[in-house]
């Protein structure tokens, strides 16, 4: 389980364009990693649109934002294009990053248990430490809250 104050687990994942992003090379500014269950579903689409709508404000304070789910690169590319998303999406197909961050969890729907991604966001400071964690995220208002935390971290 990754908590505030702990070192963020390093990783390298492909973007929706197939280019690798390695967390340890992004030092110098805050990094926001938001984990979401599935491309092109209602809550996940809204969260991606919300981050995209404020991406320039994140970039203005030097923050990089990435959405992560287990969907493959092709799914991410289609999702990003369909909804004209400005936020970069990373494919965690083998779920190792989701496991490392403790967001690959047992879930339950209509009495059926299954494994899936818990909607969660991690704010990582410029030294690679986790500054703040949001778990079991509710989408409405979440991105505004993350932006406030990023601005407070930069202050």
Active-site positions read 44
3-state secondary structure of 103: coil
Which tokens hold the place of 71?
A: 């969907």
Distance, CA of 67 to CA of 6 (rounded, Å): 20
| Burial per residue of 72-91, b for 16 or more beta-carbon CB atoms within 10 angstroms, e otherwise | ebebbbebbeeeebbbbbbb
On whether the CB atoms of residues 48 and 84 are closer than 8 A, the answer is no
- Token pair recorded at residue 141: 């208002």
């Amino acid at each position: 389980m990754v908590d505030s104050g702990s070192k963020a687990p390093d990783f390298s994942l492909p973007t929706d364009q197939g280019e690798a992003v390695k967390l340890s090379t992004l030092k110098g500014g805050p990094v926001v990693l938001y984990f979401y269950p599935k491309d092109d579903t209602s809550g996940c689409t809204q969260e991606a649109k919300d981050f995209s709508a404020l991406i320039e404000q994140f970039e203005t304070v030097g923050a990089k934002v990435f959405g992560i789910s287990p969907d493959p690169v092709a799914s991410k590319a289609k999702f990003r294009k369909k909804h004209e998303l400005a936020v970069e999406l990373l494919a965690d197909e083998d779920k190792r990053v989701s496991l490392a961050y403790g967001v690959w969890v047992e879930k339950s729907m209509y009495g059926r248990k299954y494994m899936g991604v818990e909607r969660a966001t991690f704010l990582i400071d410029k030294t690679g430490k986790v500054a703040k964690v949001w778990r079991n995220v509710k989408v409405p208002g979440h991105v505004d809250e993350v932006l406030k935390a990023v601005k407070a971290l930069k202050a």
